[in-house]
Structure 1
């Protein structure tokens, strides 16, 4: 039993090292220019281990991308649990989701997904489902809960979720495509966008 546990732990550490090495190289060199040999050289181990655990370089890319690119659902649930008025919750959410989606590593991974989507539409669709779609649904549930609690607002929960998420994700797309832009992402501008959303939805004083 001890031997089995020890072997499992070694394999887990090896997988961790391979994924970490792959993420670093994919971001630094790009997916297409990185070979499995490059990853093995950086992580240690063997080619056979990579192919046994991940199947292919594409399988390794999936492991890298989907480990990092979880949805913002956990952020939304945590922020809601902290309580406060809808306006206060939405201001906190804007800050936290912006930091999450505009993290340099997330932006770099989105660039890889955009590139891969040309050859593999299913991969891009799966990425979208695990990120934006789950986050959008969590936001819709939040707005629906407020409605059930008697909070008056302009618009249905699904539409409000889409608009609110677009305030943040649009910046992610700009950063991913343009590798930085003249658009400012200052806290003041982000807060102004949220205030505009609150005014339009009649949630500013809620």
Structure 2
């Protein structure tokens, strides 16, 4: 089925409850939940709008009215997923404000990062993004990056910048440093998770602790 043209409502606004009744919000939630299931099972290109609505219940006209088209639905699903994930990161941010040391804050952030990016849902989304061959590949990858990696990095970058302003840390580029820290923590875990390989709790703990040590204190050259 050909996608209908995107409506004038921006996709990021589609995930907002503004103007929807409780019944409308429940309908929207069912559609987004069904969309997540189908996208993860079948990939973006193969995902069927008809299958999504069959699982969610309702008419295609409702989907088009709420989300515009398949790409709009994908973006709204990513926004919903990202907002749910970020509830946990907001809690970490609050704990950071309780006078944690940089070492404590980074360990907490690193552990939460691994917990989230190695979850079955996150691994499924990452697999979807990296294997998709649809004509809209660049668009869905851009949506994924903005709603996932960039948002995670922006949170950490803001924290590092605040530490620089307070004279606690000296960092030339907090945004770049945030990406570097997060990549050290993730290492090859994301790839291993995609391949179905086992990652132990001991490996996760060691990865976070060593990343924090290297990030804050460097390595010793003998």
Matched with 2:27 is 14
Matched with 1:192 is 210
Cα separation, 1, equivalents of 2:218 and 2:172:
9
Pairing 1:54–2:67 present: yes
Matched with 1:3 is none
86-95 or 101-110, which deviates more? 101-110
Q: Are the structure 2 counterparts of residues 119 and 181 from structure 1 closer, same or farther at C-alpha, using a change threshold of 3 Å?
A: farther
8-17 or 193-202, which deviates more? 193-202
Report 1:162-173 matches (<5 A): 162-171=179-188, 173=190
Q: Are the structure 2 counterparts of residues 174 and 47 from structure 1 closer, same or farther at C-alpha, using a change threshold of 3 Å?
A: same
Q: Are the structure 2 counterparts of residues 172 and 11 from structure 1 closer, same or farther at C-alpha, using a change threshold of 3 Å?
A: farther
TM-score normalised over the length of structure 1: 0.77
Cα separation, 1, equivalents of 2:189 and 2:140:
19
Cα separation, 2, equivalents of 1:147 and 1:107:
33
Cα separation, 2, equivalents of 1:135 and 1:59:
22
Question: Any conservation in 2 of the 1:40–1:47 contact (CA below 8 Å)?
Answer: yes
17-26 or 156-165, which deviates more? 156-165
Question: Any conservation in 2 of the 1:101–1:172 contact (CA below 8 Å)?
Answer: no
Gap regions ≥5 residues in structure 1: 1-6
Question: Any conservation in 1 of the 2:181–2:211 contact (CA below 8 Å)?
Answer: no
Matched with 2:13 is none
Task: Give the length in aligned residue pairs.
Answer: 195
Q: Are the structure 2 counterparts of residues 54 and 181 from structure 1 closer, same or farther at C-alpha, using a change threshold of 3 Å?
A: same
TM-score normalised over the length of structure 2: 0.73
Question: Any conservation in 2 of the 1:113–1:124 contact (CA below 8 Å)?
Answer: yes
Matched with 1:43 is 56
1:173 to partner: Cα distance: 4.4
Matched with 2:147 is 130
Matched with 2:174 is 157
Cα separation, 2, equivalents of 1:127 and 1:175:
20
